[in-house]
Amino acid sequence: MSLMSKGGARAALGLLLALGSLLASAAVWRQRETSTPSQGEPPFDPLAQALASGSTVANREAPIPSMCYTKTEGVSNPCWTCHTGGVGFNTMDDESLQAEYAFSDVGLLNQWSNLFMDRSRAMKAISDDEVLRYIREDNYAPLREALMRRPGGFKGWVPDLDLSRGFDAEGFAQDGSGWRAVRYKPFLGTFWPTNGSTDDVFIRLPEAFRRDAGGQPSREVYRLNLAILEAAMTVDPALLDAAKSRRRVEPVDERAGGVDLDGDGVLARGVEVVRGLPTHYAGAAAKVKVRRDFYPRGVEFLHTVRYVDPDAPALLSARMKEVRYSRKDEEYAGDQVMAFYGAEQEKKMRNRLPAFPGTPELGLINEFGWRLQGFIEDAKGRLRVQTMEEHVFCMGCHTNLGVTVDQTFGFPRKVPGREGWRHQDLRGIADVPQAGHAKPEVITYFERVKGGDEFRANEELLTRFFVDGKVDEASVRRAAAGGDKDLAWLLTPSRERALALGRAYMALVREQGFTKGRDTLLAPPSNVLPSVENGSTGLEDAGLIFEDGRLHLAWE
């Protein structure tokens, strides 16, 4: 090589190194942009937007989700998944909402106008690389830091699970916070990855449930109490006598809490079955009664909603769309709970609009003793406290639906045993039926809805699993128990669709119009009503009313 060519090579190498340095600096800046204020800019206050909006709730029927405005046209019934016959102590018994639209005067207008927005131009301006870069940035840790350093503090819940430290082999958070990861079968439709979001759930029981009778921290007692709770929250609703129930749990040591879970009259280690329900929890919580279908007071849930990362093994993005926290502050007797449901039904009959006490900083409280608090992305992708109206949106599904178990969705759908105590991952989970059903759950959903989402707008699923408008049952059954596939195969979007859904939601985030809806759709759906006339949905005449919707699953 000549001296001239060597010098040219060195110059070219220098230019490449300089360019690489610039690109690396740009990447670091993009990552820091969501958490570090620019020079001279005040520190990010996650509560500022909620404070600025005050107590304004323009949409008084914000608890009605957008899916309730679906055009059923007498052929498609997505309503059965939430509105169903009485389920145990949940006596809402609201399957009549499948048969007719019964909105208040305010609710007759579909105020989720984002559904009808065409964002194709905004989506085209976002490249695949930009989507991937964005969804792989962490906006959860910056939220924790911003709330902790906020001048004057923050009176609400500050995320105290350090996700960066991960979880051990049993699903316990390695930061010592007491949180434990729950692996579960996602609820139908909206929460499937193919429809735009992934999510995960963590549970934490109060301090007494994590200590032995002497008051000392005990993982064995904690595991024992979680096994008891798992059994109590997953009893088949059709089983009138809970003493006959059977639940497979992770191996636990009965001796740690002096509780005979399998009913064999011997306290042993490695017990993997709970037969019936014990009368009380164990350890320092030994005075707390076990109640079928009810959580004990003080239980907490952390639920994060994320983008779909097509290259992540479990599809969970680092960036979070939302962080949702709930805590059961009050525990009511069964007759009180049934009276609350009766009051909810009367409110609907009288067209009384919902109202919830609380503030964005402290969270809102429902009639059943649950406090809910939510965080959502701001225009820069930073997580912020939801406004009052954005909080009210969350209350509908966690207050008065007929299908919930003590106002929750995820935990009653936990994968049995030790396989259900780890971070959410659909790989290896079979499409099992709902309790009392003969067919796998997803097949049942496809058949009743005539599509893969509430709006019948998921063209990819329609193409994959429907032939001439009918479900290709043989293909879908490949994900059922005994098949060669699983839920991950069944419900994972193509890479192209995952990125497109990410673009669509990024455009919505930049608009900050969540009070007009937060659905992830690639185009305005055709099967949505802009306004409603109360009356028949046409489903009853077509024989398409179903009173058997359940969260509970027939795992075995």
Q: What is the DSSP string of 448-472?
A: HHSSSSTTS--HHHHHHHEETTEE-
1 SS3 class: coil
Phi, psi of 20 (to 5 degrees): -60, -40
Phi, psi of 434 (to 5 degrees): -70, 160
Sign of CA dihedral 481, 485, 490, 491: positive
CA gap 499, 487 in Å, rounded: 20
CA gap 364, 397 in Å, rounded: 13
- 3-state secondary structure string across 187-228: CCCCCCHHHCCEEEEEEECCHHHHECCCCCECHHHHHHHHHH
Per-residue pLDDT of the chain in tens (556 residues, 90 and over written 9): 333 333 443 333 343 333 343 333 333 334 334 444 556 678 999 999 999 999 999 999 999 999 999 999 999 999 999 999 989 999 999 999 999 999 999 999 999 999 999 999 999 999 999 999 999 999 999 999 999 999 989 999 999 999 999 999 999 999 999 999 999 999 999 999 999 999 999 999 999 999 999 999 999 999 999 999 999 999 999 999 999 999 999 999 999 999 999 999 999 999 999 999 999 999 999 999 999 999 999 999 999 999 999 999 999 999 999 999 999 999 999 999 999 998 888 887 777 888 899 999 999 999 999 999 999 999 999 999 999 999 999 998 998 899 999 999 999 999 999 999 999 999 999 999 999 999 999 999 999 999 999 999 999 999 999 999 999 999 999 999 999 999 999 999 999 999 999 999 999 999 999 999 999 899 999 999 999 999 999 999 999 999 999 999 999 8
Phi, psi of 182 (to 5 degrees): -115, 130
CA gap 396, 22 in Å, rounded: 48
Sign of CA dihedral 546, 548, 550, 552: negative
- Alpha helix (H) ranges present in 282-422? 334-349, 388-395
- Residue 176: C-alpha distances to residues 163, 172, 229, 323 (Å): 11, 8, 21, 20
Residue 326: which residues within 8 A CB-CB, separation 6 or more? 300, 301, 303, 370, 371, 372, 373, 398, 408
CA gap 42, 36 in Å, rounded: 10
